[in-house]
Each structure stands twice: as structure tokens, then as C-alpha cells.
Structure 1
Amino acid sequence: MGDMRGTGDLSKRGRPVVGGPERGATVIAESAWVLTLFCLACGAVVGGVVTLLAEWVVRLSWGPLQGPARLLTSVPEPWQSVGCVGVGAVLGLVVGFVAVHESLSVRVSADRVVLGIRDASEEFGRDRVGLVVRDGKQLVLLGPDGMEIAREECGLPWARLAEAFTAHGYRWADEDPHLEEFRRWVPGMPGLPDGADALLRARAAAREKDAGADDARELRGELSRLGVVVRDEKGRQYWRTPGQSSQGLGDRAS
């Protein structure tokens, strides 16, 4: 993949990585079977609990959802329990498949890092990765200049990730070393490159929408092209521009 300055967007810009895994590469990914079976089991348990709750609700004169509860309890056993557990298991199975599809996979070798999510992946050559950072529940790749080149939600074991990256010669940090350079964004604040304030306004609006995650992600990439790194915390946007001195986060929430 050619060199891209902006933050990686695996859902829109990624491409399948051609060829098999490199010799000696370390692959860290969620176990599809474990995750799916876990969700299936949770769904089955929830289905069983629904049966018990329905039986409890019909005994209450003031209970909510009396109609659905009476309908459910009118089904004779064992079909009532089998049906509820079965429906719960199916829903859990669907959730499991979605979770596997949305989970991040990481492949690390001495030559490159490959991040995969959904049906796409993005490759970062060794010379592009200056530091690998854990930022809360997100995995972040920083370039040698401190510019962010990738940021992904990550549910993988952090100890395994740290071990894999350091074993292949990458620098790892448990916290962003540039954290104090971030400044809280407020509309119209000075110091931003031309056009960045408008993008941050649009991104703030997108993040308030239920279906705005993709827009917010795309706008993060546009900001990155302007040389602005953006970080979200407690519903607020913070920004920094690598290479420029910035004030610390004096107004950050405790």
C-alpha cells in the first residue's frame, strides 16, 4: 500500500493483503469459535431468564408488559423453555458473528504491521511506525514524526500485543507520550490549520448522531491530512499538531 499521511480507515481505504503471512510473523486475533460460543451461551441464558421473568410478571397485577408475558407463559412446557432458550441462543449466535466480524486482528513482523477489521486490512511498513501506543481501549500507531497513522478500537490482550510488538523491534508505550500536548477544542479557537475548525465542528455534530460513527471516522482522516491529531475523551474532542508546541490539558476532566 502506498504511503498515506492520514489515519488508516480500514472500512473504507483498506485492501486485502496479498499473499500468506510473513515468516516469523505474530498474529493476534479474537478466537472466532470462543467469541461466538460465548455469545451463544449468553443468549441461551438470557432466553431462560426471560421465561422466569415472564412467570414473575403475570403474578403481579401492576406488572409491565402483561400482554406479552401472558402470551409467553400460555405456551406449554417444555416448549416454552425450549423456545425461549432457542431464540436467545440464535440471537446470541448472531451477536457473536457480528462481534467476530467487527473485531480487530493484528499481524506483526519485522517488516510491517497489518491491521485487519471487517473485510479489509491495512498495511504499514516498518519505517512508517515510530511508536505503538495503548490509548485506553484503542490501539494507536504513530509515525516517526509523531503523526497518528492508525487508531482502532481494540479488545485484544494488551500484554500479548506489547510482547509481540517489542519482540519484533517496535517501540511500545502503555500511554500516549504526547498526551499533555492535546488541547481541548472549542469552536473558533486559534492555532488550528485552515479548515480544521470546520472539520472539527462537523465531526462534533457527527458524533452526536446514532449513525455518525463512519462520518466521524472519515473526518478524523481529513483532519490528519491537515496535520491535526484528534482524540476523544468523555464526549469532548482534543487536538494536537505534531511539531508545534501546544499547551497542556489544563482543562481536562479528572
Structure 2
Amino acid sequence: MTTVQEAAAVRHGIWVFCPAVGAAAAWALKLLAGWVTALSWFPFQGVFALVTDIPEPWATIGAFAVGAVAGGVFASFWASEMLTVEVSHDRVTLHKDDRVLGFGSDEVESVFTDGKQLVLLSPEGTELAREASDLSREKLERAFTGQGYRWRDADPFAPEFRLWVEHAPELTPDVNALFTARRKAISKYEHAEAAELAREIRRRGVAVRDEKKRQYYRCER
């Protein structure tokens, strides 16, 4: 079996790097608070004044603590977006944010990357999975071809995708509703929610891909 995932330095380092950066940024803002309160035109004066009123060493301790927690939250979000791909002769397994998607080799006709998304196609041409990641295209290609899977250079169905518009006549009301909900999630940068809605749309026989916050679809059945 071949496993493709982010380097260990990235997977483990974010839990040190992000809290450290967050703590440093919060401490820097604490140092700037006194200067900012002297600028009458600067917004949020009340917030900065409140910071300057906190006695030391509590102001510094608080800044480090709040910044570190914020950095930890960001690290958690970053980790949830990481994709791990396990490829063997008889199975492909995708791990992301405690979610596991598994497919037998007989279910996977071919594999390709579309931008930063890994796509698995079935023999019928339906998309089994379309998952975003920062994994190396070259490493993914070697992993799949090394285990006997067909690798494509591009999406063979790319010309069939159409721009989604409200109440698209080709789609059923429930699928249009999912697209509407997904548009809201994308506008709010709720990536996990948008990905889950895309999976729901895919389960209804419609492939979905994004380009600059626009949604495109392809009816698979």
C-alpha cells in the first residue's frame, strides 16, 4: 500500500507554529495598544483602551494566552483540511477531517487532479469523490499508477460542466436547494460545509466543481 499525505513537519509543526505566531501577534497588538489610543481617528478605541487598563503582568500573560488559543483554533482548522490518501491494488481510502471514504479498485475507473482537487471516476463516468488538498500531483500520480490505476491528465468530462444558476431547470428542486445552500457556505468561507454539501449533491447523481466562487455542474444520470 502507498500512502500520500502532508510531510510530518507540516502535520505536527502546525500545532507549534500556529499558536506561537498567534501569541506573538497578540503580544504585538498589546504593545501597539498604547500608541493606538493616542490616535483619535482610529476605530475601536474602547477595545484598545481596555487593553491598556489591564495591569502587568496580566496584560502580557493574557495576550499570549489569547493569541495561542486563536493559533490553536487555526491549526485545528488547517489540520481538518488535510487529505491523506491510501492506495492499494484492491482499495482506495481517503481520510479527511475524521471522515473516511473507501472505494474498491473495481469501483475506480480512473483518477486525475482538477486544480487542487483529487477526483476519482467510476466506470460509468460518475464522480466517486472530489476532495481538495495541497498534496503533490506528482506523488499522487506515482501512488495510483504504481498500484495499477489509470491516471488521466485532465477531466474527460470538463466540456459537459455548465454554470449553475438559481432554479436550474435541469436539476430537481432538492438539488437546486443544495446548490443554494452551498453558495451561501462558499460566500462565508465555510469550506467544510461546502464540501459536505457537494458530497450530498454528488450522491444525487450530479457532479459539482468550483471556479472563483461560481458553481458548475454535470448531470451524471
Call closer, same or farther: CA 1:48–1:177 in 2, change over 3 Å: farther
Call closer, same or farther: CA 1:214–1:133 in 2, change over 3 Å: closer
> In 2, Cα distance between the equivalents of 1:139 and 1:85?
38
Equivalent residue for 2:197?
Answer: 216
Of 165, 169, 181, which residue of structure 2 is paired with 1:206? 181
State whether structure 2 residue 139 is matched by structure 1 residue 164.
no
Contact residue 36 and residue 100 of structure 1 kept, 8 A: no
Contact residue 187 and residue 197 of structure 1 kept, 8 A: no
Q: Percent identity of the aligned residues?
A: 44
Equivalent residue for 1:86?
Answer: 65
Of 182, 185, 208, which residue of structure 2 is paired with 1:230? 208
State whether structure 2 residue 101 is matched by structure 1 residue 125.
no
Contact residue 47 and residue 87 of structure 1 kept, 8 A: yes
Query: Structure 1 residue 219: deviation in Å?
Result: 3.6
Contact residue 198 and residue 208 of structure 2 kept, 8 A: no
After alignment, is 174-183 or 234-243 more displaced?
234-243
Contact residue 127 and residue 202 of structure 2 kept, 8 A: no
Call closer, same or farther: CA 1:71–1:99 in 2, change over 3 Å: same
> In 2, Cα distance between the equivalents of 1:68 and 1:122?
46
Contact residue 135 and residue 174 of structure 1 kept, 8 A: no
Letter in 2 for 1:29: Q
Contact residue 94 and residue 102 of structure 2 kept, 8 A: yes
- Where structure 2 has 5 or more consecutive residues not aligned to the other structure, the ranges are none
Letter in 1 for 2:54: V
Call closer, same or farther: CA 1:134–1:49 in 2, change over 3 Å: farther
State whether structure 2 residue 2 is matched by structure 1 residue 26.
yes
Equivalent residue for 2:44?
Answer: 65
Letter in 2 for 1:158: R
State whether structure 2 residue 214 is matched by structure 1 residue 239.
no
Contact residue 81 and residue 133 of structure 2 kept, 8 A: no
Call closer, same or farther: CA 1:85–1:108 in 2, change over 3 Å: same
Letter in 2 for 1:107: E
Letter in 2 for 1:167: G
Call closer, same or farther: CA 1:35–1:118 in 2, change over 3 Å: same
After alignment, is 36-45 or 212-221 more displaced?
212-221
Query: Structure 1 residue 214: deviation in Å?
Result: 6.7
Deviation track 1:163-211 (CA, whole Å, cap 9, x = no partner) reads 2222222222353232122223445666x4xxx3424421232123347
TM-score normalised by L of structure 2: 0.80
Greater relative contact order (CA < 8 Å, ≥ 6 in sequence): 1
Query: Structure 1 residue 109: deviation in Å?
Result: 1.4
Call closer, same or farther: CA 1:77–1:208 in 2, change over 3 Å: same
Contact residue 168 and residue 176 of structure 2 kept, 8 A: no
Give 1 or 2: higher helix fraction.
2
After alignment, is 85-94 or 72-81 more displaced?
72-81
> In 1, Cα distance between the equivalents of 2:144 and 2:162?
29
> In 2, Cα distance between the equivalents of 1:141 and 1:172?
10
Call closer, same or farther: CA 1:52–1:176 in 2, change over 3 Å: farther
- What is the total number of aligned residue pairs between the two structures? 212
Query: Structure 1 residue 57: deviation in Å?
Result: 1.2
Equivalent residue for 2:24?
Answer: 45
TM-score normalised by L of structure 1: 0.71
Runs of 4+ residues deviating >6 angstroms: none
